[in-house]
Structure 1
Amino acid sequence: MKTNYILAISGNDIYSGGGLYADLATYTANGLHGFVAVTCLTAMTENGFDVFGTDPTVFGHQLTSLKDVPFSGIKLGLLPNVEIAEQALEFVKAHTDIPVVLDPVLVCKESHDVAVSVLRDELIKFFPYVTIITPNLVEAEILSGQTIKTLEDMKKVAQVLHGLGAQHIVIKGGNRFSQEKAIDVYYDGKEFTILEQPLLTTNNVGAGCTFASSIASQLVLKKSVSDAVAISKDFVYQAIRHSDQYGVKQHYAQD
């Protein structure tokens, strides 16, 4: 039986709830062989949760080491700075024949300072080369430059992101519009699909990473984009149901 190799270009989570740990756990749950190119390390310091970008030279060596692996898919997570993002983009451009999922992590940079603006512009450069992007509400607002207050706003922002080059978009709405349901909007450039699950109050650390890596896994398994998104919504719901204090637990996701 053919082995499907899938790459995560993502950072570590010192508590192992999200980041590359969630990616690899999700790949394994889907029967795939996962690889990782590490973009950053994290730690709790006196300043709170800190992100330490991988040295660009070291990151470049990681990508060079993987250039001959016959990947069937790629998921991109936290890209901590422009240097790392530029190298990741060149790698993606060399793999346009396989599905690529971009989780445009900007939430830890919500101060809207110059660094966020520059990284936003860099992430938009990925849009034409990836299969789908999976921003949460804050990230969608930063990327589009628009405010989201309603479900209709989510749809309008999805159209803006499509206009910026994104082929498929799913905006993760969480519980902003309902205290009973977690609502996401998927847009394929033509039609909208509203995805809902009952709202869970258990720990959801790593849910966004798991969602994106699950979509990537399903695309590798030859599901359509719309089916991959729907399957992954259910997958994450079950993972959150079985979460512990450090994050979602993907190995229970298909109970």
Structure 2
Amino acid sequence: MHQVLTIAGLDSLAGGGATADIKTFEEFNVFGHVLLTSVVAIDQPILFHDLPLSVIQAQLDSLKKAVDFSAIKIGLIHQVPAIDLVKEFITELDSPVILDPVLAFKEGDTQFNQAYQEGLIQLFPYSTLVTPNLAEAEHFAAMPIHTVADMKLAAEKISHLGAKQVLIKGGSRIPGAFAYDGLYQQGTFTLLEAPKSTAQTTNGAGCTLSAAIAALCGQGIPLEEAVHRAKAFVLAGIEAGISLNNQEGIVNQLAYFRKEYTQ
């Protein structure tokens, strides 16, 4: 069985983060491992509890000794020094790396925000695919994104930062009846579109998408096919999402392959 690693935080509501990744891996019939970077309480405000760097390093050391990974998904790291540890780890690997560059910024801490963003950019050249959402893409490309044309230009700019391939997750923010994602590969921009969902159970969609792509790439599925299949998986999870008491909702990673959840 293929073995896939997620480097991520633990989301208390389980829509995103390591829990979502593990569920996604299992749905695609790969065995999931976790390198935990932080514990996150999803509330107002969001509370981050970062694991000590020594604990992160110990996890890395144990994983290097024990497992040959078919793919790696990187999500929330949240500490600038921890980015260096992750970089050292992935430079020694030949497997696909899917980087979801989560920008969990500290309010008002411009110095941290800039350092963290620059740290993530250092991971771009070692990643098979970088998957920012629109807000993250705006930060990395240093431009607003309001249209599909903006999305294409932003993807080009991110590629110039060292990203081999870029998937900008447009979601429903761009006006119109369709939700757009843009896949940029070696100068070619492919627009992926689907009718917008009216479901509000979208928390964790980005994590789930990148985890699904990692699981598929780890099985040798070509990248563009993996992206298409991952998008269908996420849409099913949104449509059959789990509503919470706080008026929010999370993606249901069990929906796609278990059709009874969508009926």
User: In the aligned structure 2, how far is the partner of 1:187 from the partner of 1:29?
Assistant: 27
Given the alignment, which residue of 152, 155, 167 partners 1:155? 152
Q: Which stretch has the larger CA shift, 22-31 or 50-59?
A: 50-59
Aligned position for 1:236: 234
Contact 2:16 2:203 survives alignment (8 Å):
yes
Q: Aligned to 2:35, what secondary structure does the other structure show? A: strand
The one-letter code matched in structure 1 to 2:74 is L
Give the whole-Å Cα distance in 2 for the aligned partners of 1:112 and 1:62. Answer: 29
Moved over 4 A (4+): 107-112
Give percent identity, aligned residues only. Answer: 36
Cα deviation, residue 190, structure 1: 2.2
Distance 1:111 1:194, change over 3 A: farther
Q: Could you tell me how far apart the structure 2 residues matched to 1:249 and 1:187 are?
A: 28
Written as runs of structure 1 = structure 2, the 5 A alignment for 1:16-55 is 16-44=14-42, 48-55=45-52
- Counterpart code for 2:33: F
2:254 match: secondary structure: helix
User: Contact between 1:107 and 1:139, CA under 8 Å: does it hold in 2?
Assistant: no
C-alpha contact (below 8 Å) 2:71/2:95 kept by paired residues: yes
Is the 8 Å Cα contact of residues 13 and 42 (structure 2) preserved in structure 1? Answer: no
Matched length:
251
For residues 168-218 of structure 1, the C-alpha deviation after alignment (integer angstroms, 9 at most, x for no partner) is 100011112235321111110221111112212321111000000001011
Counterpart-to-counterpart distance in 1, 2:197 and 2:106: 26
What amino acid is aligned across from residue 94 of structure 1 in structure 2? E
Q: Which amino acid aligns with 2:68?
A: P
Mapped contact 2:237–2:251 kept (Cα < 8 A) = yes
Which residue of 2 is the match for residue 251 of structure 1? 254
Distance 1:110 1:145, change over 3 A: farther
State the distance in 2 between where 1:111 and 1:236 align. Answer: 33
Which of residues 191, 198, 203 is equivalent to 1:201? 198
- With structure 1 as the length reference, what TM-score do the two structures score? 0.94
Is 1:70 aligned to residue 73 of structure 2?
no
Pair 1:127 & 2:129 matched: no
Q: Quick one: distance in 2 between partners of 1:62 and 1:177?
A: 40
SS at the partner of 1:250? coil
Residues 94-109 of structure 1: pairs in structure 2 closer than 5 A: 94-95=92-93, 97-109=94-106
Unaligned runs of 5+ in 1: none
Equivalent position amino acid for 1:11 in 2: G
Cα pair distance change 1:178/1:214, threshold 3 Å:
same
Query: Quick check: 1:140–1:171 contact (8 Å CA) kept in 2?
Result: yes
Residue equivalent to 1:117: 114
Unaligned runs of 5+ in 2: 244-248
- Matched residue type, 1:113: T
Amino acid in the other structure paired with 2:121: I
Considering only aligned residues, what root-mean-square deviation do their CA atoms show, in Å? 1.5
